[in-house]
Amino acid sequence: MIHKTVTRPRATRSPSRRVRIGAALATAVAVAATVVGCGTPQSAPAPPGSAPPAPAEPAALTGANVNAWLDGLLPAALARTGVAGASVAVVRDGETLTARGYGHADTGVGDAAAVPVDPDRHLFRVGSVSKLVTATAALQLVQSGKLQLDADIGEYLDFTVPRRYPQDVTLRHLLTHTAGFEERIAGLIGTTGTDVDLRAALVNDPPEQIYEPGTVPAYSNYGNALAGYLVERASGLRFEEYVASNVLARAGMASSTFEQPLPPHLSGRMSNGYERAGAPAAPFEIVSTPPAGALSAPATDMARFMLAQLGEQVGDAPLLDAPTRELMQRPALDATSLGTLAEGPRMTLGYFDESRNGHRILGHGGDTRYFHSHLQLYPDDRTGVYLSLNSTGEGALDSHELRQAVLNGFADRYFPAGATRQVAGTQPVADVDPATAAEHAALAAGTYESSRAVRSNFLTMMGLVGRTTVSVADGDRLLFEPAPLSDSPALYEEVSPWVWREVGGQRTVAMRVTDGQVEAISFDSAFALLPVPAERDSALVLTVLAASTVVLLLVALSWPVRAIVRRRLGRAPRDRAGRTARILTRVAVAGTLLALAGWAVSLVSIMGLQDVSATSLRVVQLMQLIGLLGVLPAAVRLVDDIRRRTGWHRITGGVAVLLALAGTGWFAVEFMLLAPSISY
């Protein structure tokens, strides 16, 4: 049943000052606003030491009840956050309970009237929720025997994927984000006119493999796009064509497509995307790797997809037979490769484990620059909920928190924790003796960065932001600052060996230790925290970099001042002794400052998903190399000044310049600013 659209008054709000932190998005933060996003809904932070809420009676899960709840929540939330429009669908027991539209698909320009969101007419970009369609397509071909889940993907590909480890990379690894690939950002999203060539996007500048396959959860658009290309290779059809015939048509999703740009019969139905409600409409986004995030669909079609994933036949034929559907919906890796990380939340073949209140919940989120979506299934309760927003909102976390409010609110209202239910995905408070808990907590203390990262080139330095500090609290608990995928701290207690549960919450983390050293802490199905080496400690690195930069800036600013002073005082030019070393040192100082400025501009562009040319990056690297080599003439100059006893001020200045060039040079080497690869 489809219900009418609900509109809201327009409102503006001061931009939020909060900064989006979160390992999920660590790198991304770099890719947080892209198709790569998969915002897993998080439990609201609870005060340390607080108890979980008492069991509550569920509200009646009926269309009327859900409508009343959504109508009371979403219009005000859209107005508060500056999100232009939202589209929602809820399914239950084989039928669509409701599909609702809120706000506007087109906010209107000039005298043009605003167009309310229609959940049946208006298409929204679902971002990485598309990966569920890709996984379904791949598993159809596993079901038919055309693909093998655990065969090396090299058996199917017509190009070679870079590998650092000898182990096979399998379709299972691709669908669980454990193939070991680093992040890739360049070219993820373009605008109308951008060519879409899946094979070229995979072959040109592929990411490095930085983890052993099957061992480290590390969310990867590239890996999922490879799974989509396997669909092409096994079926003999373009990915978009195969999915249209074998997934979308079977699920009755007649208004949905992966095609970019949209086909003519759908292009007039696309909702605009907005940075915020008062901003101009954004152009249609082109995702360069369609399997990872190119689906455009209305809420009613996503309702049909949820029903099909729950085993209901809503189109021409079932998407998957019952055994394959069950295979898709159970954890796909075990302790054989994950070790003790398998005790925490794990990926299925496509879904994140987002269980809450003792109910098994499988989900996936997705973000493009402007659209933000999330889908959740309750397989044991024959229920599903889908939400998509067409704006980011005024603040960096607004769209994330709005989705969180809807999804967690839905779970708590209709599927609250029962008196006899244990929270899914967690352990009861267990008999981990205090001494063991204290020992394990001490091992965990340290600084961590996201497994979703770049390790092979200059974007390694992005690991300096979004880090998490883990410390021991109360002797045997762990304090995460900030908590994973949050901007607030959270306290965890060990509930079984190497597994911790949030105090007063429902989230769990699991830790893998080898030879007394922490290897990883998994905090979400496709994300983990990895220890930061001591030499990359943020405080140390940023102190060295800041101090070095200040010294070099002061030195550069002093050059014209000293020249003017000399001219006005009529002083003779400096002696020619050591002139070559002085000139080369000045060149090095200038090169270093230009390089630092170049890196800053490049990072800002990349964070905004603007491509930076290879030529520009090579020029910046050249400046950085000049600065690094300048350590030699700076040392020669300092030795010469000491030998000639030129005075304490010149010697002190020489020491400062040498240390500053050495500091920036160390930073360049440590964070791979001079690496041959500049692919990002």
**What angle, 0 to 180 degrees and rounded to 10, lies between the N-to-C axes of helices 614-629 and 631-644?**
20
Domain count, the chain: 3
| Euclidean distance between CA atoms 75 and 300, whole angstroms | 20
pLDDT tens, residue by residue, 383-394: 999 999 999 999
Kindly report the number of other CB atoms within 10 A of residue 118's CB atom: 19
One domain for residues 268 and 230: yes
Specify if 651 maps to a domain. yes
| Euclidean distance between CA atoms 671 and 16, whole angstroms | 31
Q: Which residue from 5, 8, 69, 83 is spatially nearest to 400, judged by alpha carbons?
A: 83
Q: Which pLDDT band, with edges at 50, 70 and 90, does 570 fall under?
A: low
The set of residues, in sequence order, having a beta carbon less than 8 Å from that of 367 and lying 6+ positions away, is 32, 33, 34, 35, 36, 37, 38, 39, 127, 128, 373, 399
One domain for residues 227 and 251: yes
Specify if 362 maps to a domain. no
The set of residues, in sequence order, having a beta carbon less than 8 Å from that of 328 and lying 6+ positions away, is 135, 136, 139, 320, 348, 349, 350, 351
Mean pLDDT of 503-531: 95
Q: Is the pLDDT of residue 337 over 50?
A: yes
Q: CA angle at residue 498 from 495 to 502, to 5 degrees?
A: 45
What strands, in cross-sheet order, belong to the sheet with 115-116? 115-116, 95-106, 85-92, 383-389, 372-378, 362-367, 352-353
Calculate the dihedral angle through the C-alpha atoms of 361, 364, 365, 366, rounding to the nearest 10 degrees.
-170
Residue 364: beta bridge partners?
A: 375
Q: Which two tokens stand for residue 458?
A: 């200059």
CATH number at residue 275: 3.40.710.10
| Amino acid symbol at 434 | P
Specify if 10 maps to a domain. no
Q: Is the pLDDT of residue 643 over 70?
A: yes
pLDDT tens, residue by residue, 424-457: 444 445 568 999 999 999 999 999 999 999 988 8
What's the confidence (pLDDT) of residue 2? Answer: 38
- Of the ranges 22-36, 95-109, 646-660, the best mean pLDDT one: 95-109
| Euclidean distance between CA atoms 81 and 534, whole angstroms | 40
One domain for residues 46 and 65: yes
Mean pLDDT of 189-197: 83
| Euclidean distance between CA atoms 589 and 594, whole angstroms | 9
What letter does residue 59 receive in the DSSP assignment? P
What letter does residue 457 receive in the DSSP assignment? S
**What angle, 0 to 180 degrees and rounded to 10, lies between the N-to-C axes of helices 579-607 and 538-569?**
130
Quick check: 397 and 20 in contact, CB under 8 A?
yes
One domain for residues 652 and 505: no
Q: DSSP 3-state assignment of 621?
A: helix
Q: Which of 513, 534, 555 is a domain's end point?
A: 534
| Euclidean distance between CA atoms 77 and 610, whole angstroms | 30
Q: Which of 491, 506, 534 is a domain's end point?
A: 534
Q: Which of 13-17, 145-149, 282-286, 645-649 has the lowest mean pLDDT?
A: 13-17
| List of long-range contacts for 317-321, beta carbons under 8 Å, 24+ apart | 317/250, 318/250, 319/136, 319/140, 319/247, 319/250, 319/251, 320/136, 320/139, 320/140, 320/143, 321/143
pLDDT tens, residue by residue, 92-133: 999 999 999 999 999 998 788 999 999 999 999 999 999 999
| Euclidean distance between CA atoms 535 and 533, whole angstroms | 5
Q: What are phi and psi of 146, to 5 degrees?
A: -80, -20
Q: Which of 85-89, 339-343, 581-585 has the lowest mean pLDDT?
A: 581-585
What letter does residue 340 receive in the DSSP assignment? G
Kindly report the number of other CB atoms within 10 A of residue 579's CB atom: 12
One domain for residues 500 and 549: no
Of residues 61 and 485, more confidently modeled: 61
pLDDT tens, residue by residue, 347-373: 999 999 999 999 999 999 999 999 999
pLDDT tens, residue by residue, 256-269: 999 999 999 999 99
One domain for residues 107 and 226: yes
Mean pLDDT of 570-597: 83
Write out the DSSP string of 483-531: PTTSSS-EEEEEEETTEEEETTS--EEEEEEETTEEEEEEEETTEEEEE
Identify the H or E element spanning 446: strand 446-450
Specify if 236 maps to a domain. yes
| Euclidean distance between CA atoms 268 and 519, whole angstroms | 51
One domain for residues 408 and 468: no
Q: Which of 495, 512, 534 is a domain's end point?
A: 534
Specify if 361 maps to a domain. no
One domain for residues 399 and 448: no
Q: CA separation (Å) from 411 to 59, 354, 406, 426, 502?
A: 10, 11, 9, 17, 18
One domain for residues 150 and 243: yes
Specify if 679 maps to a domain. no
Enter the pTM of the model.
0.88
Write out the DSSP string of 193-244: T----HHHHHHSSPPPB-S-TTTS----HHHHHHHHHHHHHHHSS-HHHHHI
pLDDT tens, residue by residue, 150-182: 999 999 999 999 899 999 999 999 999 999 999
pLDDT tens, residue by residue, 202-244: 998 899 999 999 999 999 999 999 999 999 999 999 999 999 9
Mean pLDDT of 525-539: 92
One domain for residues 403 and 452: no
Identify the H or E element spanning 296: strand 296-297
Q: Which pLDDT band, with edges at 50, 70 and 90, does 13 fall under?
A: very low
Q: What is the largest CA-CA distance in the chain?
A: 93
One domain for residues 507 and 541: no
Specify if 503 maps to a domain. yes
What's the confidence (pLDDT) of residue 640? Answer: 87
| Euclidean distance between CA atoms 392 and 37, whole angstroms | 12
What's the confidence (pLDDT) of residue 497? Answer: 95
Identify the H or E element spanning 385: strand 383-389
| Side-chain-facing half-sphere of 150: CA atoms under 13 Å | 3
CATH number at residue 516: 2.40.128
Specify if 137 maps to a domain. yes
One domain for residues 328 and 295: yes
Q: Which pLDDT band, with edges at 50, 70 and 90, does 91 fall under?
A: very high
Which range marks the domain in which residue 513 is found? 434-534
| Euclidean distance between CA atoms 385 and 373, whole angstroms | 11
Mean model confidence pLDDT for the chain: 88
